[in-house]
Structure 1
């Protein structure tokens, strides 16, 4: 085996075992439980932006439905520009200071964006608050991805990513189903549409603060390397790009380009599709959002059911092979949405939305597990920072094209775009699997070439 393939395949010392999960040395049970809550709250609350945007565009700003796809795409554009500029800096900071503190700060900033969001008087002001949201989002999710890589031993990497994905999914479902339903509940209780929107955003702010406290006090402080192992700052800043010489890390970066954007595209355009279809039928905005979120809930619920199936083999076979399978599932899941004629006719459309959720979570799990295996310990934050930056660029490209396609071609068109992108990465995975297969986890603490 080459030096490249041996780099991350050394035997690991013992760590704490929690059920079927082996933790890296120094990670306590309390840290793991805090990670589960952080995975639940961070990913769940970041998806509220799709509900928040739909509420503000319809209830506060009264934007015509035939313009909302383009505006939503533009808002995502500024979100991703901000994250592209931020992820590299956050990745380097992650290798110099505590992950827990950065994640907590990110949650507070994201909460402040939700607090201000319904007070926007124009698209320009809304864009400013969206940039504030992006600052918090990039910091919090960048640290969550790094922690997901830090905490497990390699023999449990796929399982921890899968369990974390379950908590991600629970958070998404509860936020979309709970906060997404709150406006119509408040309207039915006698509040007007605007007041109901305000209260919903205030609650989102409070939940972000609770998530920040959990991260600050529950996650492991510091960084997972000794002081003498720190790389010079200049070398650290460029290490993420240099690691692309590893074909499997390059593949992970390419997968992130697609996979890290899947959830955002799914959340943005599925809810928007259902909501605009309902509004076009004369339904009030708060009720339309409630109908639109059902698409997302179906997709997320299917993803939750699928995660344990993925976890059953992710740590048993070559991770490039796993990546190939995941990207093919993602391609099939997104492309099948083309067969949906009426998104509100869930009796006939739910199998396609379920497959959409399965495809989305598969690409996320495959990409996260591969980068977790390959990222070197001494500059893991920097590598994950480039991984996240690649994802942000992917979201930028797909959201701009997706917003245009949503308005000008068909609401299903953004999903077809993502499906094609997944297929392209799958073809790249075939090449890497043949030429540079890398290690496969054999048992706790041992790997072999395949």
Structure 2
């Protein structure tokens, strides 16, 4: 009887030899990963000004360049860590990832110029790639298929909590420390050092708490060439092709929020309102926190919606919210205004809606024979979205207006929205099929 009870935890049906401690460690990894992944780009405006002395009019291009090369490093590293986690197990790769991230975070404020900052960011990104690769596989390792939906929903909640901890605690630390008497540089170094220590402790906990070994192969185990070839072939299915396009939007949205939202608010706060960089960063965290809070609340709503109506219709709603939310920023001149709060609410809902609905659509459409390749190419499409958002967003932020990155991705979301509506109309004009339905049989 004790053995049967051990196989069920938090309402989840667990795989053989998976304990409650393993599951709790996994969900803490989800929380910590998003917390650290949010901290680096959102804390960057403070570092660029106070440590490197880069003028605000160059922040967009510099931030975009750092994100671009970091994403390239992640794409390459994921292709390496997938097979390694299959061979050596998730536990050592996950622990290694957090330990490498810890070193990158600790070194970040000690970079003397943008070139050194890029090198440190690349090292940090390699650690982040190791962690994200194993987290994708751990759900399959730990939870039986009938509990995967609930397990993924709980994972989304932990991601949201991690993002909230970042914006309401970590981003406020420089301001708190400066108000206690520290200089801007002392506050920055102390903040990054504390976050690095937390990452190091997290890595140690992973080495202790995760289950050794690997039950299933990671969906990142195939080579990039194989993923690209089989993923493109699978795109002959219009639902899979649409999911790829939606992934491009969803991941690009995530990068836009994480990088340019904070940059916009902090630059405005210091230039127009005379705030210190630390106080402006804390205020930016509040605005981003509203967006992330709405994303946290909206996650279960979009999950339920995707099961109640067709997955394509759920995606249409998410894309519409995203296009309106991001596009409305063109009317915002003061990022501290009520108009920005309304945009933040819409942006948060659109961001999480696109992530969830695109994910369930590709999971539904991916054929069993090439599921790994389809999911891998889906992830690769999202990475391309991040690359485009980094380059185009940075250029538009510096040369046009602060809302430029948001308006640009509003246009991208609108294009994919038209694509999704056309597919839904074409599908609904024929005999309904299971392939596009969001019922229990999907």
Q: What TM-score do you get using the length of structure 1 for normalisation?
A: 0.84
Q: Measure how far apart 1:334 and its partner are.
A: 1.7
- Secondary structure in structure 1 of the residue aligned to 2:275: coil
Structure 2 spans left out of the alignment, 5+ residues: 1-5, 428-432
Q: Measure how far apart 1:285 and its partner are.
A: 1.4
Aligned with 1:202 (options 193, 204, 225): 193
User: CA distance change for structure 1 residues 337 and 365 in 2, over 3 Å: closer, same or farther?
Assistant: same
Note if 1:415 corresponds to 2:406: yes
- Secondary structure in structure 2 of the residue aligned to 1:62: coil
Compare 312-321 and 207-216 and name the one that shifted more.
312-321
Aligned to 1:238: 226
Residue-pair matches, total:
426
How far, CA to CA, are the matches of 2:401 and 2:367 in structure 1?
A: 43
Alignment of 1:300-449 (within 5 A): 300-345=292-337, 347-373=338-364, 383-430=374-421, 433=424, 434=426, 438=435, 440=437, 442-443=439-440, 447=441
Alignment of 1:70-149 (within 5 A): 70-148=61-139
Note if 1:284 corresponds to 2:276: yes
Deviation string, structure 1 residues 242-295 (Cα, Å, up to 9, x no partner): 144333444333322221232222010010000000110222211121122222
User: CA distance change for structure 1 residues 185 and 353 in 2, over 3 Å: closer, same or farther?
Assistant: same
How far, CA to CA, are the matches of 1:111 and 1:220 in structure 2?
A: 22
8 A contact 1:80–1:395 mirrored in 2: yes
8 A contact 2:306–2:438 mirrored in 1: no
- Secondary structure in structure 1 of the residue aligned to 2:169: helix
8 A contact 2:7–2:18 mirrored in 1: yes
- Secondary structure in structure 2 of the residue aligned to 1:63: coil
Compare 49-58 and 17-26 and name the one that shifted more.
17-26
User: CA distance change for structure 1 residues 236 and 141 in 2, over 3 Å: closer, same or farther?
Assistant: closer
8 A contact 2:252–2:388 mirrored in 1: no
Compare 375-384 and 38-47 and name the one that shifted more.
375-384
8 A contact 2:102–2:196 mirrored in 1: yes
How far, CA to CA, are the matches of 1:34 and 1:81 in structure 2?
A: 29
Deviation string, structure 1 residues 168-216 (Cα, Å, up to 9, x no partner): 1111111122111111111111111111100100111112123223433
User: CA distance change for structure 1 residues 423 and 198 in 2, over 3 Å: closer, same or farther?
Assistant: same
User: CA distance change for structure 1 residues 225 and 60 in 2, over 3 Å: closer, same or farther?
Assistant: closer
- Secondary structure in structure 2 of the residue aligned to 1:411: coil
User: CA distance change for structure 1 residues 412 and 26 in 2, over 3 Å: closer, same or farther?
Assistant: farther
Structure 1 spans left out of the alignment, 5+ residues: 1-14
Aligned with 1:296 (options 288, 295, 318): 288
User: CA distance change for structure 1 residues 119 and 304 in 2, over 3 Å: closer, same or farther?
Assistant: same
8 A contact 1:318–1:438 mirrored in 2: no
User: CA distance change for structure 1 residues 25 and 83 in 2, over 3 Å: closer, same or farther?
Assistant: same
How far, CA to CA, are the matches of 1:262 and 1:147 in structure 2?
A: 25
How far, CA to CA, are the matches of 1:148 and 1:264 in structure 2?
A: 24
8 A contact 2:303–2:357 mirrored in 1: no
8 A contact 1:236–1:379 mirrored in 2: no
Q: Measure how far apart 1:376 and its partner are.
A: 6.5
How far, CA to CA, are the matches of 2:191 and 2:52 in structure 1?
A: 17
How far, CA to CA, are the matches of 2:53 and 2:224 in structure 1?
A: 47
How far, CA to CA, are the matches of 2:57 and 2:263 in structure 1?
A: 11
Deviation string, structure 1 residues 350-388 (Cα, Å, up to 9, x no partner): 121111111111111123333444557787665544333
Aligned to 2:210: 219
8 A contact 2:316–2:417 mirrored in 1: yes
User: CA distance change for structure 1 residues 109 and 252 in 2, over 3 Å: closer, same or farther?
Assistant: farther
How far, CA to CA, are the matches of 2:241 and 2:222 in structure 1?
A: 21
